[in-house]
């Protein structure tokens, strides 16, 4: 069962809202989209450690980087973005499938990767804490759960 169909069945309604459209909808003006890009901002006391984790651990290249008197900032392009809004019961359901118990906080990243085995190894080599090893979700995706150096939960998934 595909993830979206499974989630809609479990939650009783669609939850994923696509924020980045196809190439023809890139401008958003012709489609009536009110949001053009999702940016998630992580604030950390360990800037070097966390930026190295995302750059090396996930192989992300910066699209912008600022190192000024006001502070340091790094923007990493993650490709297409969606926003999922869960109630507590749905978060429990997803955590149960991926980890076996309720563990994530109010925000969790879910990142699609082309090769889960390679991504798991790479993240572990760069300091990620494995929360739960690879499992097959009911919708068919292979998933693995990690924490970044600041404790942010990250689900890596590979589509079936």
Question: Tens of pLDDT along 31-76?
Answer: 677 888 888 999 999 999 999 999 999 999 999 998 888 899 999 9
Question: Tens of pLDDT along 87-104?
Answer: 999 999 999 999 999 999
Q: Does domain 3-19+44-158 have CATH number 3.10.180.10?
A: yes
Question: Are 73 and 30 a contacting pair, CB within 8 Å?
Answer: no
Any idea where the domains of the chain sit in the sequence?
3-19+44-158
* pTM of the predicted protein model: 0.76
Question: Tens of pLDDT along 105-125?
Answer: 999 999 999 999 999 999 999
Q: How many whole angstroms separate alpha carbon 136 and alpha carbon 4?
A: 15
Tally of CA atoms within 13 A in the half-sphere of 78 that contains its CB: 19
In 12-156, where does DSSP find H-type helix? Answer: 47-52, 88-98, 116-125
Q: Are strands 62-68 and 16-18 parallel, antiparallel or unpaired?
A: unpaired
């Amino acid at each position: 069962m595909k993830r979206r169909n499974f989630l809609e069945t479990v939650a009783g309604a669609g939850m994923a809202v696509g924020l980045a459209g196809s190439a023809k909808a890139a401008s958003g003006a012709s489609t009536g989209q009110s949001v053009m890009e999702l940016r998630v901002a992580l604030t950390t006391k360990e800037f070097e450690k966390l930026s190295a984790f995302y750059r090396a651990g996930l192989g992300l290249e910066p699209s912008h980087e600022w190192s000024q008197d006001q502070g340091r900032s790094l923007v990493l392009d993650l490709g297409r973005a969606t926003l999922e809004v869960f109630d507590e019961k749905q978060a429990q359901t997803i955590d149960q499938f991926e980890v076996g118990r309720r563990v994530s906080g109010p925000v969790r990243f879910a990142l699609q990767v082309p090769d889960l085995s390679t991504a798991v190894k790479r993240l572990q080599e760069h300091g990620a804490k494995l929360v739960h090893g690879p499992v097959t979700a009911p919708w068919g995706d292979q998933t693995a759960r990690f924490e970044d150096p600041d404790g942010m939960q990250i689900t890596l998934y590979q589509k079936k």
